[in-house]
Chains A and B, each alone.
Chain A
Amino acid sequence: MLRQLIKIMRRGDMIIVILLFLLSFLPLAIFTYVQASVSDDATKIAVVKMDNEIIETITLTGNRGTQSFEIVADDGDINTVEIIDEKIRIRSATCPDQVCILTSFIENPGETIVCIPHKVVIEIQAENHHEELLISS
């Protein structure tokens, strides 16, 4: 297969592969850039949304101990959210792909946990004491 690859592969292909590889990091770069403008002393708030409606907001800064609650949708979908100290995660979910659970804990402003099948989004927002919110959805 490798010999075949070398035989077909042209320089243009290599350029495309490298270019696509680099471009796929573009969202990450923008994200890091946006996040850099949030100051450290901001209050971190986790906003839990379902179907684009806010169903819970939790102040993470200064939070201690373990709390957990369940998000139950009308059609029986369940996501269990767990907050340990200043981190938040989805501990278990009845969705098929389990992406939200693999995302694990988040704690920094701008980070999100997304459960597409259940339309549940947890987003950490920063509330600056001096200026307006810089992170928006």
Chain B
Amino acid sequence: MTNNQRLVFIALLASQAVIISLLERAIPFPFAVAPGAKLGLANMITIMALYTLSTKDTMHVIGIRITLASLLGGTISTLMYSGAGALLSFIGMVLMKKIGGNKISIIGVSVVGAVLHNVGQLLIASMVANTWTVMLYLPVLSMIGILSGIAIGIAANYILTHVNRLNYYKDLQTFQVERG
């Protein structure tokens, strides 16, 4: 992948992620029992980036997404919450992908990402509220996170295996890695 191709691909993924997060925000809240729970559709893009780009470029995609999505329809606190969630889930997913290797599929990576996203948000919430009992809310959130994580993993797997263009980028990256 030439440098320009790489930049365009990063921009493409980031813009898709921004649109998806904005659309997701517009969907009326689907789980009445657990406010704060989200489908995490934007995570799909993060996973795609993780499987097609280098770790550093994936970080760029996430950074652009968080900044733009917060600027377009959020507040400072949403920036804080989604930032912490995204950072933690990104670290978790990268580690999972590295350590897991062949034993862990895209679903495992996606589930780890979803749950850690919730953990990150609750950590910020307990810091804001100054009481760690906020963490008691975790089981409800992580339950939904696990389910949506599995679904997102399947969706991302579909995209990765069925979109030829992505495979093309995937090959380019491995090619580059092998050579360099």
Q: Residues on A close to B: CB < 8 A?
A: 1, 4-5, 8-13, 16-17, 20-21, 24-25, 27-28, 31, 49, 52, 97-99, 102, 110-112, 114, 116-117, 119, 121, 123, 137
The answer to whether B112 touches A20, judged by C-beta atoms less than 8 angstroms apart, is: yes
Number of cross-chain contacts by CB at 8 Å: 101
**CA gap between A99 and B129 in the complex, in Å:** 13
When A and B form their complex, which 10 residue pairs have the shortest distance between CB atoms, in order from nearest?
A: A24-B142, A27-B135, A12-B103, A13-B108, A12-B104, A97-B35, A112-B133, A137-B131, A16-B108, A114-B129
- Chain A residues contacting B137 (CB-CB under 8 Å) are 99
Decide if B84 is an interface residue (CB 8 Å cutoff): no
Decide if B105 is an interface residue (CB 8 Å cutoff): yes
- Chain B residues contacting A97 (CB-CB under 8 Å) are 35-36
A interface footprint on B132-147 (CB within 8 Å = 1, 0 otherwise): 1111111101110010
Checking B36, B108, B133 against A10 with a beta-carbon cut-off of 8 angstroms, the contacting residue is B108
Q: Quick one: given A31-B133, A31-B136, A137-B131, are A10 and B143 in contact (CB under 8 Å)?
A: no
In the assembled complex, the CB of B142 is this many whole angstroms from the nearest CB of chain A, namely 4
Within 8 A of A (CB), among B95-119: 96, 100, 103-108, 111-112, 115
Residue of B nearest to A28 (CB): B136
Checking B35, B125, B139 against A25 with a beta-carbon cut-off of 8 angstroms, the contacting residue is B139
In the assembled complex, the CB of A23 is this many whole angstroms from the nearest CB of chain B, namely 8
The answer to whether A114 touches B125, judged by C-beta atoms less than 8 angstroms apart, is: yes
Q: Determine which residue in B100, B129, B132, B137 has the highest number of CB atoms from chain A within 10 A of its CB, and name it.
A: B129
Checking A12, A27, A137 against B130 with a beta-carbon cut-off of 8 angstroms, the contacting residue is A137
The answer to whether B107 touches A24, judged by C-beta atoms less than 8 angstroms apart, is: no
- Chain B residues contacting A137 (CB-CB under 8 Å) are 130-132
In the assembled complex, the CB of B71 is this many whole angstroms from the nearest CB of chain A, namely 19
Decide if B128 is an interface residue (CB 8 Å cutoff): yes
In the assembled complex, the CB of A116 is this many whole angstroms from the nearest CB of chain B, namely 5
- Chain A residues contacting B77 (CB-CB under 8 Å) are 117
Checking A8, A10, A116 against B125 with a beta-carbon cut-off of 8 angstroms, the contacting residue is A116
Decide if B150 is an interface residue (CB 8 Å cutoff): yes
Given A17-B111, A27-B136, 19 further pairs, Cβ under 8 A: A1-B154, A8-B105, A13-B107, A13-B108, A16-B104, A16-B108, A20-B111, A20-B142, A24-B143, A27-B132, A27-B135, A99-B35, A99-B36, A111-B133, A112-B131, A116-B125, A116-B128, A116-B134, A137-B131
